[in-house]
Chains A and B, each alone.
Chain A
Amino acid sequence: MSYTVLVFVKQVPDTQNITGDAMKADGTVNRAVLPAIFNPEDLNALEMALQLKDRYGVKVVVATMGLPAAADVLRQAMYRGADEGILLTDRAFAGADTLATSFALSCAAKKVKYDLILCGRQAIDGDTAQVGPQVAEKLELPQIAYAEEIISLGDGKVVARRAIEGGYEVLESPLPAVMTVIDANIPRPMAARRIMKFKRARIKSEIVKEHADANYTDDAAIEAKMAELKDKGLLIQEWTAADVDADLDRIGKAGSPTKVKAIASVVLTASESKQVEATEAGITELIHELIADHTLG
């Protein structure tokens, strides 16, 4: 049995370290001023995949869509234990909402042999939690959202525990399947020797740029470098929209019906507080009051 687990990850602005310029005039995130990090719940998804690698020897392929700089999160995934990386990058992908993003990712998935797709539940820049389930829909695969732990993988099926309100449920699904993963494990640290090896991993754009910086643009040399890196397992795939046969009307801005209409800054202010006596009478009085102002009932 040699399964392949495809993990979709995202490079996101670090919204925990917000500064004044974090939002642009149009209400979208100003990515330029925030440090780019590995989306936290995607690290949980990667950890889940790496645990499957430890237990079953699965191959872990990590993919992301983004600017060439997003190759960083793929390298970081490799430092932690991922085997291969794929970057979807193309101007045509730019400006995508969740619908266009999930379509692009589903096109990429069709180019990869996989048995299981893992995604973080949601990204800290948009907090939509839509992309994973949409990918499943587009690929017409069963999905397990809010997964905490994989109990077993084998015989063409996966058994997993997912969080539900007030508890959990255990589900079995045939493979291939899509799962979205919550913050229920502790991502492993990056490993020193993997860092020392995979820090040399490159996408084609980076190789081209490094050659150009050296004032050197020989296509054959670039090809040779790519072949050399590929040999060593250090070439990160770089795919354009054409490479994944994506319909240009369904990706990027063109494929995104979502428009930011207005952004409002909501300031919550505390009003006066009221003491309720911890007696039967006090509680009864409070309940009547809540019914009267339609909070209850």
Chain B
Amino acid sequence: MANFFSDNRDLEFTLNNLDLLEAVALRENNYEFAKEFETAPVDYADALDNFNRVLSVVGEICGDNIEPRSRTVDREGPHFADGVVTYHPLTQANLEDLRKADVSGVMLEHRFGGLNFPVSVYTMMTEMVSRADASLQNLFGLQDIAETIAEFGSEEQKQQYLPKFAQGLVDGSMDLTEPDYGSDLQAVKLRAWQDEKTGQWYLNGMKRFITNGCAQVHLVLARSEEGTSDGRGLSMFICEACPQLVVRRIEDKMGIHGVATCELQYNDVPAQLCGKRRLGLIRYVMSLMNGARVAISAQAVGIAEAAYRAARQYAAEREQFKKSIDKFPAIYDMLAGMKAKLTAARTLLYETTRAVDLRTVYTHLAEEPNATAEVKNMAKYYNKLAAILTPMCKAMATESANQIAYDTIQIHGGTGFMRDFNAERFYRDARITNIYEGTTQLQVVAAIGGVMQRDADKRLEEMFAIEFEGESARLAEIVKGLYAKQLEAVKFVADRKDVAYHDLHARDLVEMETYVFVGMLMLRDAQKCEDRFVLAERYILDSQAEFAKRYAKVMSGDLTVIDHHRDVIDY
């Protein structure tokens, strides 16, 4: 009897301190929906009660059903023959359990049969699912596809697809990457052409590395404007599985074995345009990707949680030199560092989802004809905040998960290298998280603008304004000191007006920003629960040295990497 929600003190703390009062009220139309839908909450306490109950059900399924199946799923994976992907019977059982628990349309509106939960709560579910079986998250996490149709599709398309998604009757995939274009999506080639007589669209070409490419409903990025070669010639289409859409093969991967990663061939596949032409990449896919980046951050946190627990348990049970190994400084230092990284990643994750939730509700309000200037400003503000936090979070959470999974093997010693233990699986599963949905290098590109423009300053100032006392005040002073240096470093780089130098140090600057921002989040959390002070202390003190290293690099003005890299590489 394991429950991945109720056994996780950090997650419980997170739910109770989500600060979603505003986002949920707006999402529930100031609780007017309760009059119309019997499942809608009547106030925030009621909504929170729903979140708690449903998370507990998902936590139980994760702990009792999904986790025990995960080793077999990893070993055996899905089956592919004659163009047909068949998921492992245990993966199918997992999906069936989740479908029966009625969590197939977590964020969808009540009117489509969804739960109308905010992304923050959905993210908690994806995190727990990942902890149980990281590969299953790639299927459960595809609810963003329905979300994208809900956001940008026509009313007709919503009616056609969303109720089916909500009931778990169809699954989805997002078909973006092509054999030659991954990070560089604006160069996508898959061709969309329109029959002039009927107006019907058709898709032709190839897609690669498509997670769950065997899905019934696909969102496809395709070039609809002949003669174009950039992102503005791309549109988004919805198509369904059909004989013209061929799964050519599935990949043999290092990790996330449970899910099929497909190569797809489109032979004049009939499709519908979703949203407006030419906005496919620049508007819709960017939105879809941002949602997916949050989901992958949650996947990383879930794997990190599983890995950390395995390491902690092993270290407590394994005895060497007549005592358990967690009594040795070299090991408990590692464990404490892992725990600090894990809780830090989680607090940034839910700070991010909060911004995303507020962005979603304010963006909808701002689109209404009688929207006030205040509402429009809020939409703009949360849009910017979510835009910097999302890539920052994905970079931090996924890199941390890798470090944690790495240390988990280290703590297991030789045992961790063997397939008898879960440690090696966590390590393999974590490794993709900082690659797909944009590599960490691309997250830096996405975040650096916001760092240079100081888009998170307002939120930072709110946290600086908290009245800290005693030891917390001392830590807050340390973080404020780092912040002053960060402003200095940002100005230093901006003033040089050197694109190469800016790009070279972008990652340093984004990571420095992350240390400052997350340091304050950890302190804020410690104000709400004094047991968390030691977590904040550990994170901030660890950050100090990491920050200093990056600061020194940025402020050095050193150009040798730019000047000599070729000679170094080619020697």
Q: Which A positions have Cβ atoms within 8 angstroms of B?
A: 16, 188-197, 199, 232
Contact = CB atoms under 8 A, between A and B. Distances in A.
B100 interface: yes
Contact of A191 (B50, B60, B102): B102
Interface string B28-44: 00000000001111000
Contacts of B115: 192-193, 196
Contacts of A197: 38-39
Contacts of A196: 38-41, 50, 53-54, 115
A194 B49 contact: no
B1 A192 contact: no
A17 to B, nearest CB: 9
B392 interface: no
Contact of A195 (B50, B97, B113): B50
A194 B113 CA distance: 11
A188 B100 contact: yes
Interface residues of B, number: 20
B402 to A, nearest CB: 32
A40 B115 CA distance: 28
B193 to A, nearest CB: 42
A190 B57 contact: yes
Contacts of A195: 50, 53-54, 57
Interface of B: 1, 38-41, 49-50, 53-54, 57, 60-61, 97, 100-103, 106, 113, 115
Given A192-B54, A192-B101, A193-B39, A199 B61 contact: no
A191 B54 CA distance: 8
Specify which of A16, A190, A192, A193 lies most central, judged by the most chain B CB atoms within 10 Å of its CB. A192
Contact of A189 (B1, B39, B40, B57): B57
B38 A190 contact: no
6 contacts: A189-B100, A191-B100, A192-B57, A192-B115, A195-B50, A196-B41
B390 to A, nearest CB: 26
A15 to B, nearest CB: 13
Contacts of A188: 100
A165 B5 CA distance: 40
Contact of B1 (A16, A191, A194, A199): A16
B368 to A, nearest CB: 27
A41 B101 CA distance: 20
Contacts of B100: 188-189, 191
A16 B101 CA distance: 25
Contacts, number: 43
A188 B115 CA distance: 19
Contact of A192 (B40, B97, B103): B103
A190 B1 contact: no
B38 A191 contact: no
A194 B61 CA distance: 17
A193 B1 contact: no
A232 B38 CA distance: 9
Contacts of A191: 100-102
A199 B49 contact: yes
A188 B98 CA distance: 10
A192 B53 CA distance: 8
A190 B56 CA distance: 10
Nearest to B117: A192
Nearest to A188: B100
Specify which of A16, A191, A193, A197 lies most central, judged by the most chain B CB atoms within 10 Å of its CB. A193
A190 B38 CA distance: 17
Nearest to A16: B1
Contacts of A199: 49-50, 53
Given A196-B54, A232-B38, 12 more contacts: A189-B57, A189-B60, A189-B100, A189-B101, A192-B57, A192-B106, A193-B39, A193-B115, A195-B50, A195-B57, A196-B39, A197-B39
A191 B103 CA distance: 8
Contacts of B103: 192
A235 to B, nearest CB: 14
Contacts of B97: 189
A33 B101 CA distance: 30
Contacts of A16: 1
A164 B410 CA distance: 51
Specify which of A188, A196, A197 lies most central, judged by the most chain B CB atoms within 10 Å of its CB. A196
B33 to A, nearest CB: 12
Nearest to A192: B102
A228 to B, nearest CB: 12
Nearest to A189: B101
Contacts of A232: 38
Specify which of A16, A191, A195, A232 lies most central, judged by the most chain B CB atoms within 10 Å of its CB. A195
Q: Which 7 A-B pairs have the closest CB atoms?
A: A191-B102, A196-B39, A192-B102, A189-B101, A192-B54, A188-B100, A197-B38
Nearest to B106: A192
B41 to A, nearest CB: 8
A37 B41 CA distance: 26
A65 B511 CA distance: 61
A192 B60 CA distance: 13
B49 A190 contact: no
A189 B66 CA distance: 13
Contacts of A192: 54, 57, 101-103, 106, 115
B299 to A, nearest CB: 21
Contacts of B61: 189
A89 to B, nearest CB: 24
Specify which of A189, A194, A199 lies most central, judged by the most chain B CB atoms within 10 Å of its CB. A189
A213 B101 CA distance: 33
A190 B54 CA distance: 9
A148 B75 CA distance: 31
A276 B41 CA distance: 69
A196 B100 CA distance: 15
Nearest to B100: A188
A194 B115 CA distance: 11
A16 B1 CA distance: 10
